[in-house]
Amino acid sequence: MSSLHLGADSQKPAEVKGQVRLYGMKFCPFTHRIRLILSYKNIPHDTVNINIRNKPKWYLEIHPEGKVPALVDADGKVIVDSLVIANHLDEKYPEPSLYDEKTKTRDLELLDHYSKLVSIFSNCIHNNDSRPLKEIVAEFSSLLVEFEEELKTRGTVYFGGAQPGMLDILMWPWVERRKSLSLIYGEPTNFNDGNFSHLMKWMQQMKAQPFVQENECSHEKFAQLVKDLKTGNVDFDKL
């Protein structure tokens, strides 16, 4: 399947019967979540990238709101929202399982808390936060303390234990894009890594995972995308 982002004048690519299809955008962190899970679980699939600034009409028949990601399962069922898709894939394709029943309730609680960081990050890249970067980083740091302490309490490299689990994977796209903020704002973030020794070790271990490397998103390209989106002059396929 072509990696080009399909726009309004495109034709819907023929689906492969009995195979999962992911509709997304190459640089979208929510789409990134699902690409990571599909790769980690080795689920056969294809990916169709959507030009989110010039959406095909046929895509609105799949997802009327036009958002990404959307997943069409092997049986033709359409699932939207990255967390819903992630949980669906883990239930239908259980190997390897991404939840430990002993920590699942806490993992879901932490994912809910992490959504606050995601919201702050989103406000930064969409010009909805007028605060100085220093204040934004301070809030990020405050919110990350809970995750640092959780890793320390669990005594494991990953939140999932010996191997990455759902919480590890769903957090990762924003961690990988964290350095883009300094490029977007044109100044260093001055994030104090020394206060987060467990998270720093976790990051290094996650970066070494083959499925993470296979789906890496350059923070430089992501920062450029954000800048281009602000000017309205963006070509998703030339980044």
Which residues are the active-site residues? 28
Q: Three-state secondary structure along 119-143?
A: HHHHHHHCCCCCCCHHHHHHHHHHH
* Residue 158 β-bridge partners: 161
Burial of residue 191, with CB atoms counted within 10 A of its CB: 0-12 exposed, 13-18 middle, 19 or more buried: middle
- Distance between CA 136 and CA 73 in Å, rounded? 38
- Distance between CA 16 and CA 145 in Å, rounded? 45
